[in-house]
Amino acid sequence: MTDETGPANTSVTVPGTGTTLELGDLRASIAAELASELSTPEDIRKRYGFTKGQWDQLRQNPMFKGMVMDALKTFRGPLQAGARITKKAEILLEDTLPDLYNIVKNGETPSGERIKAVQALAELAGRGKKDLPEGGGKQAGFTLNINIPGGAPVTIQGSSNGSGSSDV
């Protein structure tokens, strides 16, 4: 992150340790990865770029410990297998977002692939094409029922394409 004064400093020093961690290091996704056991703790440490000292400090942080405990309840609790699979898939999907971003920003990526990547990001962000209800949006129409006292009811049906029918 940068501004007119240069790179922003987003790191904090853990009190009493002298060890520096980035603000983003206290992420629930790291705790969820640990709890889901998709990777070993050492692999997670390396993937996020922590030194061993930073990793040790993070693991001792009370807030982070709370995140791990919450994640353990999710992954080892009474959830159904489907819910656990969904959570794990969400974690894996989140890990692929930087790759998708790189596809979009890489000028050497073919335009069609870049457009697909932008569409995928839009869909993930909830900004993609909205799903229409079954049969919705395909044709608009109406039904008009007229009840005349002492006479037979009249039903008129119409649609946006100009065709219609009536029962008299």
Q: What is the 3-state secondary structure (H, E, C) of the chain?
A: CEECCEECCCEEECCCCCCEEEHHHCCHHHHHHHHHCCCCHHHHHHHCCCCHHHHHHHHHCHHHHHHHHHHHHHHHCCCCHHHHHHHHHHHHHHHHHHHHHHHHHCCCCCHHHHHHHHHHHHHHCCCCCCCCCCCCCCCCEEEEEECCCCCCCEEEEEECCCCEEEEC
Question: Does the structure show a pLDDT above 90 at 78?
Answer: no
Question: Does the structure show a pLDDT above 60 at 136?
Answer: no
Question: Does the structure show a pLDDT above 50 at 29?
Answer: yes
The model carries a pTM of 0.44
Percent pLDDT > 70 in the chain is 68
